Amino acid sequence: MTAAVADDRGAAPLGLFERWLSLWVALCIAGGIALGSVAPGLFGLLSGLEVANVNLVVALLIWVMIYPMMVSVDFAALRRVGDRPKGLAVTLVVNWLVKPFTMAALGVLFFEGLFRDLVDPADAKQYIAGLILLGAAPCTAMVFVWSQLTRGDATYTLVQVGVNDLIMVLAFAPLVALLLGVTEVAVPWDTLLLAVLLYVVIPLAAGYATRRRLERRGGAAAVTAFTARCKPWTVVGLLATVVLLFGFQGGRILAQPLLIALIAAPLLVQSYGIFLIAYAWAWIWRIPFAIAAPAALIGTSNFFELAVAVAISLFGLDSGAALATVVGVLVEVPVMLSLVALANRTRRYFPAD
């Protein structure tokens, strides 16, 4: 995994932290695991600060990360989003007609085929269930960070996430019920609605208010200067989130490294495969990079809070399904950063606008 680099179209060069972001993330992963093992009480306390399975500390850090991008949203341009529907088509088809089914297929392939002799059959079904829950829950929050790191179109990214959230309200439960073969899936509406409120509605409202104030004072230049000053906080929030996520699970990672690796294997194949499908499709359609990159990244990233909450409610806190969703959390950040780097390095192959 390499750090995201500046594109070759004259964009401003990346700062020190962004240029070496992969190194900082690796150090934070190691630091998080070490701290989680040395100070489990502290991380236990922090992990307990949650409402409806949404950790409030992580939510605050994600808010810090996505707030600058919300300030960048041009609300006047929202009405023109429909003029370029291809990005939405890629996002929706990959998220809802491809990703859940490929994740289920990969889960069966790995745990009932390739890893059959390494895990108990009953546990294997649990791990497959957890993978399915991840595959059926597209990202709501972190995708704003990935979009910002690729200099994606903030306005279009907001629309892509918003449409996905609306579909998720209607499609998540039936889709999970179909793939898991269960008749009833109790969707934790408090988790779903709280996450949308925390990760979309509140930062969007704050971003709108900030943008209006800046435009009255200094126009577009003031908005640009403000987001530039806030940008380092996006990286700080990301690194702190990595430390927390790996700190929460540090003991489990050290106690079950082989099992963690087995669960991570299909997730890695799924993540890179889904990204390449969406990214290649966007390239074939000649979708501008600022729309193509977020479209592919949304399909790759997962709404892990929802997946973890449903896994716990259906199978229990100590179930294999819950463990699989947690591994999804741990895998996501390093994988997504590597895909951000890949997208930035291939920017030149896409139309600029």
Residue 349: predicted pLDDT: 94
> Could you tell me what percent of the chain has a pLDDT over 90?
20
- All structural domains of the chain with their residue ranges: 16-349
Tens of pLDDT, residue by residue over 142-198, are 788 888 888 888 888 888 887 887 787 778 878 888 888 754 556 667 776 777 777
Give the integer Cα–Cα distance in Å for 186 and 137: 14
End-to-end CA distance of the chain: 28
Section 35-50 average pLDDT: 84
Give the integer Cα–Cα distance in Å for 115 and 220: 55
Residue 13: predicted pLDDT: 46
Section 209-235 average pLDDT: 84
- Using CA atoms, how far residue 169 sits from 137, 163, 261, in Å, is 10, 10, 32
Mean pLDDT of the chain: 81
Higher-pLDDT residue of 106, 23? 106
| pLDDT band at 103; cut points 50, 70, 90 | very high
Q: Answer left, alpha or beta for residue 181, where phi above 0 means left and psi between -120 and 50 means alpha.
A: left
Tens of pLDDT, residue by residue over 268-325, are 999 999 999 999 999 999 999 999 999 999 888 887 777 877 777 677 666 788 788 8
CATH number of 16-349: 1.20.1530.20
